[in-house]
Amino acid sequence: MSATDPRARIAPNRSLPLEPGLTLGRRERQLILLVGDALAAILGATLALRLGGLRSGWDWRARSFGLELLGWLAILLPLWLALAWANGLYDLRGVRDRGAALLAPLGVGAQLLAIWALAYFVPPPWTIVRHVVVFFAGFTALAVSGWRLLYGRIFARGAFRVRLLIVGAGGSGQALLAAIRADAAHLIEVLGFVDDDPALIGAEVAGRPVLGSRSDLVALADQLDAGEIALAITQGMQAGLFAALMDAREQGIALTPMPLLYEAISGRVPVEHIGDQWAVALPLESSEGSGLYRLARRAFDIACALAGLALLGLALPLLAPLIKLGSPGPLLYRQVRLGLGGRPFTLYKLRTMVADAEPDGPVWAQPADPRVTPVGRWLRRTRLDELPQAWNILRGEMSVIGPRPERPELVAALARDIPFYRARHAIRPGLTGWATVRQGYAGSHDDARRKLEYDLYYIKHRSLLLDLRILLQTAATVLRLAGR
């Protein structure tokens, strides 16, 4: 063994198994962010009431001030946190962005004021204290911005990161490394790869060193103080590697399959890197959910469908002439899509494109698509073009939340090239979904694969909490007029 071989510098120094290192996971960091935001909101409410008291003649030193503060916090604090969540302020990928730390809370404050503008239609006493909400939005936005700048400086340090070794320097290991680098939250520090290929040992792969082989795994983890090992091998595991991994686990080091760590970082299932681990990475039986969950979802779907049809009935007399004037053609757009179990159904939308927009067959949607009419562009930005799908939801062909339904021609083409593509038919398609709020429209084959990865993540993890998150993010998209 040469002096330059990285294995020559490794000597175990752990005499006893140790507990995993004290590192902050994604949920712990999100909780710290949320608690800090809540404290900032309490500060904002206190300052708002004190300033409001000067304007309204309240005595903030009176005993009633505390009760007044609690009353306002009961309304404004949940509203602020819900809007912050909907706008992605607890998505750790954006926490290190100083611009986002300053501007995102201001956006939340503006949305809160827009919602509170409805107080003009509510009788007193609400209408006489609107200035308190204005002060609250301003003070809280400033306090949250300051807190998030402080958070970014403290928790971006290496002491709070997970130190990771990746077993396998092939395509799966490199894909995991790329996902970690793309994660702006910077929760993980990749120490390097472990691989049995002698030609790779001592070299660099994707900018990280290959430190040794499986026989060096425990010693490497010990010397480098690794807290976690990611297994990025998609084919069968040899007995020697299994033994090395068990030795590492006995030393208190966490072991995680690459697909599971990848989805925890990105919110996507890596369909190209599942391999023999498909039963672990993609347990489709979890898509069924509990009976209570399915009942609650269907009740919610019916309620939303009825509300959507009522809104469509009110809006159609105004929208129909605009659509007709914008471009000759039918009012409604009908298209066959595939739903639950791959069964075809007819999807309805308000027409946003010129008639006969696809004379030569399906075409990917593009930014600033010339086929979209001016009226249609506005309908898409407000998502009003989706209202007729309330009928599909009421009929049980769709749900409010789920993968967006695709055309049979596209499904047939994509299923030939993208692994597990038809698995998205394990649940009803939706009006909005995890892929919709995270990825948006698919304009290429690669976009479709990425959307599938988000869809499979939702199928695997769907719950009332995830559904609520999707609904809030969809509402934020509509408020920002960010539809396409």
pLDDT of residue 345: 97
- Measured CA to CA, the distance from residue 410 to residue 421 in angstroms comes to 11
Quick check: 12 pLDDT over 50? no
Residue from 28, 152, 140 nearest 84 by CA: 140
Residue appearing with tokens 């309620």? 303
**Coil vs helix vs strand at 442:** coil
Task: Classify residue 386 by burial, with Cβ atoms within 10 Å: 0-12, 13-18, 19+.
Answer: buried
Q: Which one-letter DSSP state was computed for residue 372?
A: B
What is the C-alpha to C-alpha distance for residues 434 and 135, in angstroms, rounded to an integer?
A: 34
Q: Which of 239, 221, 237 lies closest to 229, judged by CA?
A: 221
What Rg value do the Cα atoms of the chain yield, rounded?
27
* Average model confidence (pLDDT) across the chain: 82
DSSP H/E element including 204: strand 204-205
Least confident of 1-15, 80-94, 214-228, 279-293: 1-15
Low-confidence winner among 52-56, 273-277, 298-302, 307-311 (lowest mean pLDDT):
52-56
Predicted pLDDT of residue 103: 80
Contact between 156 and 33 (Cβ < 8 Å): no
440: left (phi over 0), alpha (psi -120 to 50) or beta: left
pLDDT of residue 14: 40
What are the pLDDT digits (tens) for 255-266? 888 988 998 888
* Average pLDDT value for residue range 292-319: 93
Cα 464 from Cα 300, distance rounded (Å): 11
Amino acid 6: pLDDT: 47
Which DSSP symbol is given to 21? Answer: P
The band of 121, judged by pLDDT with boundaries at 50, 70 and 90, is low
How many Cβ atoms are within 10 Å of 440's Cβ, its own excluded?
A: 16
Tokens 């993890």 sit on residue: 461
Name the nearest CA neighbour of 215 among 182, 241, 246, 186: 241
Give the side-chain half-sphere CA count within 13 A for 41: 26
Q: Are β-strands 188-194 and 208-212 bridged in parallel, bridged antiparallel, or unpaired?
A: parallel
Picking from 49-58, 374-383, 463-472, which range would have the lowest pLDDT averaged per residue? Answer: 49-58
Q: How confident is the model at residue 115 (pLDDT cuts 50, 70, 90)?
A: confident
pLDDT at position 10: 44
Max mean pLDDT among 11-25, 177-191, 387-401 falls in 387-401
**pLDDT of the residue at 327:** 83
User: Quick one: average pLDDT of 302-324?
Assistant: 93
Confidence check: pLDDT of 272 > 70: yes
* DSSP helix/strand/coil, 429: coil
**Cα 137 from Cα 206, distance rounded (Å):** 45
User: pLDDT tens for residues 99-111?
Assistant: 777 788 888 888 8
Higher-confidence residue of 391 and 374: namely 391
HSE, CB side, 13 Å, CA atoms: give it for residue 43.
Answer: 16
142 token code pair: 């400033």
pLDDT (mean) for 432-448: 87
Report d(CA 111, CA 357) in Å as an integer.
36
Average pLDDT over residues 433-457: 89
pLDDT of 393: 97
| pLDDT, mean of residues 124-152 | 79
For residue 332, pLDDT beyond 80:
yes
* pLDDT above 70 for 32: yes
Query: Contact at 8 Å (CB) between 235 and 275?
Result: yes
Query: In whole angstroms, what is the distance from residue 85 CA to residue 79 CA?
Result: 10
Most confident range (mean pLDDT) of 12-26, 60-74, 386-400 is 386-400
- Which ranges of 123-170 would DSSP assign to H, the alpha helix? 130-155
Per the CB < 8 A criterion, the answer to whether 234 and 224 are in contact is no
Confidence of residue 8 (pLDDT cuts 50, 70, 90): very low
* Structure confidence at residue 17 (pLDDT): 37
Question: 198 with 237: CB under 8 angstroms?
Answer: no
Q: How many Cβ atoms sit within 10 Å of the Cβ of residue 277? A: 19
Pairing of strands 204-205, 399-401: unpaired
Neighbouring C-beta atoms of residue 410, cutoff 10 Å: 16
What pLDDT, on a 0 to 100 scale, did the predictor assign at position 62? 55
**Distance between CA 477 and CA 408 in Å, rounded?**
28
Residue 335 is predicted with a pLDDT of: 92
- In this predicted structure, the answer to whether residue 7 has a pLDDT above a threshold of 50 is no
Residue 329: which region, alpha, beta or left (left: phi > 0; alpha: psi -120 to 50)? left
Q: How confident is the model at residue 19 (pLDDT cuts 50, 70, 90)?
A: very low
Q: What domains can you pick out in the chain, each with its CATH number? A: 6-17+161-281 (3.40.50.20), 26-155 (no CATH), 291-479 (no CATH)
CA dihedral 317, 322, 325, 330 (to 10 degrees): -60
Q: Which of 212-216, 290-294, 476-480 shows the highest mean pLDDT?
A: 212-216
